[in-house]
Amino acid sequence: MKKICFTILLFVSSVGVARAQSADEQMNVLFLVADDLNSWMLEDADRYAGKVIAPNLRKLAGSGVNFTRAYTAAPVCSPSRTAFFSGVAPWRSGIYNNAQIINKSEALNQDAVLSLAGLFKTRGYDTFGYGKITHGWDQKEHWNEHVGHKRDPVPPGAPLAKLSGGEQDWGPIHLAEEQMNDTGGANKAIAVLEKKHDKPFFLAYGSFNPHMPWYVPQKYFDMYPLDQIVLPELKENDLDDLPPLAKAVSDGIGSFADKVIKSGKHKEAVQAFLATTTYVDTQFGRVLDALEKSPYKDNTIVVFLTDHGFHLGEKLHWQKTTLWEEGTRTLLMFRAPGVTKAGGVSQRFVSLLDIYPTLAELCGLTPPTTIDGRSLVPLLKAPKAPWESTAITGLCDKTKTDFAYISIRHELGRYTRYGAEEEEFYDTTKDPHEWTNQIDNPKYATTVKKLRALVPSFDDAAQPLPSALVKKRRETQKVRKKKR
Ligand SMILES: [Ca+2]
């Protein structure tokens, strides 16, 4: 028996090597990532019941397998991207939030760790990256060409929404669409698809939008008349049943969400987010159209993801960096010629950490042993296949505690532990908005026990690394307190 297994293994690995050497047979990869795009376009009324115009991404979703229960490993840019691009989970790297000192991570500093681009580059691919792909962690030597993102200039007269300065603003941009940086990034990706390639390629394009501020051409705002805007469902006193660390995650009363809602501009904000979503959909659509028209249409795997979710008032919160459904749920869709069938929908709970092993398996490449996550190839072939349906998300707030926050998303619900002992449990089968914290309800004791056991133990999990922002935040808090 052993001998047979060995022979099969040898056969499989030699096929992998042979494929890697032949550009004709080897699949290309088109890796598409959006920033701060939430799951509203999934047409799940529990998340958002209004209209979202995203024909290009919907077309892509329909052409392969759409994962409707995909979750980020961390609900904010840098740790999420570090996790999916290195394959190393936050609870092993210690990177749970922005501005952590990544070069102090022992898990990421191992020689064996290889970025996703590096996996392809070292196996004979040409690698191209345009726009926002990684944030804080990359291995720059593994790109043939890499042009990072740039923010568009702020429109004259900003802040246009007159609520806040800086990022928390929206309104029509003064630039033509062709002059915008995400349009330019898409142009670069299109140029790669229009070239002849001797080697297989890994091509990544990442949009900065719909990250705030939401400045896009007026025509996108016009697609969403204000009187037709539907607001997300909110519950008054939603935060009353939260433990203190969870309340602090929301910021609650006094946060930007509160400001938007009280100013009467909630619809305007939702309109701006949707307008920017449609602008982004247009850019991804241009890249996907270029692929359709290219000779690589039938030998290119496409994956589209968002780095994490986004709140627009739910749980009295704005933006990201939370462990609730709005902050953690993402979009994830794959089209793999010869593997996926059009119209596939998988409701299994999966993680963005699963992208790395999935792409490796689809291309016949052996990933490094340092990666976490599970290959989704069985679900790409059979989207309803049985699956251990668990997704884990980690976060930290070093100003509050040195312990990580870990959230377990499972078919049975969501369990979150903040720091050492504060907990939440939501029965999402009955409470999809996570309005009622059932942690103390004896009815759920067995479920809670089961989900609690899935949290990586304090002995095994990497605790959050130092954060460069903490000192600054502490100083700001002191100033605020004095002012009060
Ligand atoms: Ca609540």
Nearest-angstrom CA–CA distance, 314 and 273: 14
Nearest-angstrom CA–CA distance, 150 and 321: 22
Average pLDDT, integer, range 419-428: 96
Q: Look at residue 24 in the predicted model and tell me its pLDDT.
A: 54
Intra-chain end-to-end CA distance of the chain, in Å: 74
Q: Look at residue 478 in the predicted model and tell me its pLDDT.
A: 72
How far away, in angstroms, is 235 Cα from ligand 1 center?
A: 8
Nearest-angstrom CA–CA distance, 49 and 47: 7
How far away, in angstroms, is 240 Cα from ligand 1 center?
A: 6
Residue range 20-34, pLDDT digits in tens: 444 457 999 999 999
The single residue listed with the structure tokens 């933006």 is: 319
Amino acid at 146: H
How far away, in angstroms, is 47 Cα from ligand 1 center?
A: 16
Residue 413 pLDDT greater than 60, yes or no: yes
How far away, in angstroms, is 436 Cα from ligand 1 center?
A: 5
Q: Which residues sit opposite 201 in a β-bridge?
A: 126
Residue 315: C-alpha distances to residues 323, 362, 453, 484 (Å): 11, 39, 26, 25
For residue 307, give the CATH number of its domain: 3.40.720.10
Residues 6+ away with beta carbon under 8 Å from 156: 174
* 143 is a domain residue: yes
The single residue listed with the structure tokens 């040898």 is: 10
The string of DSSP codes covering 173-197 is: -SS-GGGSHHHHHHHHHHHHHTS--
The string of DSSP codes covering 63-104 is: TSEEEEEEE-SSSSHHHHHHHHHH---HHHH---STTB-GGG
How far away, in angstroms, is 431 Cα from ligand 1 center?
A: 10
Beta-strand pair 390-395/405-410: antiparallel
Beta-strand pair 126-131/145-147: parallel
**Helix extents (H) in 313-384:** 325-328, 355-362, 377-381
The size of the chain, in residues, is: 484
Average pLDDT, integer, range 251-272: 94
* 439 is a domain residue: no
Task: Select which of 135, 311, 317, 410 is catalytic.
Answer: 135
**Peptide bond preceding 213 in cis form (omega within 30 of 0):** yes
Residue 470 pLDDT greater than 80, yes or no: no
* 20 is a domain residue: no
For the whole model, what pTM was predicted?
0.93
What are the phi and psi torsion angles at 295 (to 5°)?
-70, 0
- Residue pair 205/193 in contact (Cβ under 8 Å)? The answer is no
Nearest-angstrom CA–CA distance, 344 and 335: 10
Q: Look at residue 168 in the predicted model and tell me its pLDDT.
A: 95
Residue 7 pLDDT greater than 80, yes or no: no
* 57 is a domain residue: yes
- Residue pair 95/79 in contact (Cβ under 8 Å)? The answer is yes
Residues 6+ away with beta carbon under 8 Å from 67: 332, 333, 334, 346, 348, 350, 376, 379
Residue range 185-234, pLDDT digits in tens: 999 999 999 999 999 999 999 999 999 999 999 999 999 999 999 999 99
Residue 35 pLDDT greater than 70, yes or no: yes
* 338 is a domain residue: yes
Residue range 102-123, pLDDT digits in tens: 999 999 999 999 999 999 999 9
Q: 77 an active-site residue?
A: yes
Average pLDDT, integer, range 283-304: 98
- Residue pair 303/333 in contact (Cβ under 8 Å)? The answer is yes
Which residues lie near ion ligand 1 (Cβ < 5 Å)? 238, 241, 435
Beta-strand pair 214-216/201-206: unpaired
* 395 is a domain residue: no
How far away, in angstroms, is 424 Cα from ligand 1 center?
A: 10
How far away, in angstroms, is 410 Cα from ligand 1 center?
A: 19
Q: Look at residue 391 in the predicted model and tell me its pLDDT.
A: 97
Average pLDDT, integer, range 53-58: 98
Token pair listed for 470: 């903490």
How far away, in angstroms, is 246 Cα from ligand 1 center?
A: 11
Domain count, the chain: 1
* 470 is a domain residue: no
How far away, in angstroms, is 269 Cα from ligand 1 center?
A: 23
Nearest-angstrom CA–CA distance, 167 and 104: 29
Task: Select which of 77, 266, 311, 363 is catalytic.
Answer: 77
∠ CA 149-203-25, rounded to 5°: 175
* 297 is a domain residue: yes
How far away, in angstroms, is 437 Cα from ligand 1 center?
A: 6
Q: Look at residue 10 in the predicted model and tell me its pLDDT.
A: 38
**Peptide bond preceding 210 in cis form (omega within 30 of 0):** yes
Which domain range does residue 307 map to?
27-389
- Helices 266-293 and 181-193: crossing angle in degrees, nearest 10, is 20
Produce one character per residue of 291-317: b if its CB has 16 or more CB atoms within 10 Å, e if not. beebebeeebbbbbbbbbbbbbbbbbb
Token pair listed for 396: 């930290």
How far away, in angstroms, is 350 Cα from ligand 1 center?
A: 25
